[in-house]
């Protein structure tokens, strides 16, 4: 292995915990003066034997390098180490901790951007975020260790450098009901009419002027059937909320260690854990929700008759809006006693343990599936 070859390798940022796991003869990482070295290919060639290196595998070798009683290292030995450098150490003070005490009146201090970047070698919050993530020198493990450590800004950080694209990443909370509640209402009316007359289509209701006089009068049976489907949609949404949050947004362990996967993770949910108090990224942009909901609404129309499908979707869309509004409130609103407890619970997901507490509107599914997060301290 030559120094020339090594200079063309992208050097990554590692955490101490990540280095510590590479402590075998098949993968031997060590640290020295803030740099990370892969000594695996050097084990057989080490003049003092591989056992000395393996004793420090996954650890810092500073003490060993300076201990002349154990092994004297020449200047050439120090220079040769450059050939084996694979990255640098990153990571500073941790915010997420089991010792964090949930408080519904929590108001975090603003992050010192320069100090944070110099210490963690992660994202420069003074610059657009997305391309930094795409071009980043981090390992997946280092990315996950950092993106779950919250930072706090007074203003929203830019996702794109382009003024044309940036607005699509920011959403005020009132946009969600403005877009999706009228759609939910339309689907509710369509479902009721279809329970009354199965021949009714969406096109019948979209005529201008609205053909109200020509539509059949809904029967009590049609209203009851719609309400049953609407209620089922609310129930289904609560399960979807939990499932998507746990198995899609927190797919951390199974995330491929590739720029496209890390960038997608950051866009979907990573940015929310990284900047949890960003008021313009607490609710889902309409375009993103459209992408996520489309497979499920199509599935509903495959599984159920159209009247039932539209009724279920109307309930799910209604509850989705309540979820997004509730999520915003959990981060930025003073709430009554019961909701204040749910706020503490959700903030604990961000600041205490992000691997538990996936329910946002309710703890029910956390209880059912064993992912309850204990917010009290002993």
Give the residue numbers of the binding site. 46, 73, 245, 250, 269, 272-273, 327, 331, 346, 349-350
Q: Which residues are annotated as a binding site for Zn(2+)?
A: 245, 250, 269, 272-273, 327, 331, 346, 349-350
Residue holding tokens 């992208």?
A: 10
In degrees, rounded to 5, the angle at the alpha carbon of residue 294 between the alpha carbons of residues 288 and 300 is: 145
Q: Which residues are annotated as a binding site for heme?
A: 46, 73
Given a contact cutoff of 8 angstroms between Cβ atoms, the answer to whether 73 and 100 are in contact is no
CA-CA-CA-CA torsion sign (226, 297, 165, 331):
positive
Strands 85-89 and 12-14: parallel
Contacts with 193 (C-beta within 8 Å, 6 or more apart), sequence order: 200, 204, 205, 215, 216, 218, 222
State the Cα–Cα distance between residues 111 and 139, nearest whole angstrom.
Answer: 23
End-to-end CA distance of the chain: 54
């Amino acid at each position: 292995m030559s120094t020339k070859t090594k200079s063309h390798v992208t050097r990554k940022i590692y955490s101490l915990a990540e280095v510590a796991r590479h402590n075998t003869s098949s993968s031997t990482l060590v640290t020295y003066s803030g740099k990370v070295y892969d000594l695996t290919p050097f084990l057989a060639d080490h003049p003092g034997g591989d056992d000395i290196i393996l004793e420090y595998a996954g650890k810092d070798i500073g003490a060993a390098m300076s201990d002349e009683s154990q092994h004297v290292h020449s200047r050439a030995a120090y220079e040769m180490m450059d050939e084996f450098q694979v990255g640098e150490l990153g990571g500073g003070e941790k915010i997420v901790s089991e010792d964090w005490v949930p408080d519904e009146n929590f108001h975090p201090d603003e992050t010192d951007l320069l100090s944070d970047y110099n210490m963690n070698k992660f994202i420069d919050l003074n610059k657009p975020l997305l391309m930094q993530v795409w071009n980043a020198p981090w390992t997946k493990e280092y990315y996950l260790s950092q993106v779950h450590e919250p930072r706090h800004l007074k203003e929203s950080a830019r996702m794109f450098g382009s003024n044309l694209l940036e607005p699509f990443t920011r959403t005020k909370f009132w946009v969600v009901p403005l877009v999706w509640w009228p759609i939910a209402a339309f689907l509710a009316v369509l479902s009721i009419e279809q329970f009354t007359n199965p021949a009714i289509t969406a096109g019948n209701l979209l005529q201008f002027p609205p053909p109200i006089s020509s539509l059949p009068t809904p029967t009590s049976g049609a209203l009851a059937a719609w309400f049953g489907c609407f209620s089922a949609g609310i129930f289904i949404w609560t399960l979807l909320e939990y499932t998507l949050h746990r198995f899609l947004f927190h797919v951390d362990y199974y995330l491929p260690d590739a720029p496209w996967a890390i960038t997608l993770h950051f866009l979907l949910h990573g940015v929310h854990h990284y900047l949890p108090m960003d008021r313009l990224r607490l609710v889902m942009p309409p375009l993103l929700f459209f992408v996520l909901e489309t497979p499920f609404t199509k599935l509903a129309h495959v599984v159920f008759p159209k009247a039932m499908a539209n009724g279920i979707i109307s309930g799910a869309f209604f509850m989705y809006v309540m979820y997004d509004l509730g999520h915003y409130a959990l981060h930025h609103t003073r709430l009554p006693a019961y909701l204040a407890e749910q706020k503490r619970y959700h903030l604990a997901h961000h600041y205490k343990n992000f691997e538990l507490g996936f329910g946002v509107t309710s703890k029910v599914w956390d209880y059912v599936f064993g992912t309850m997060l204990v917010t009290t301290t002993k």
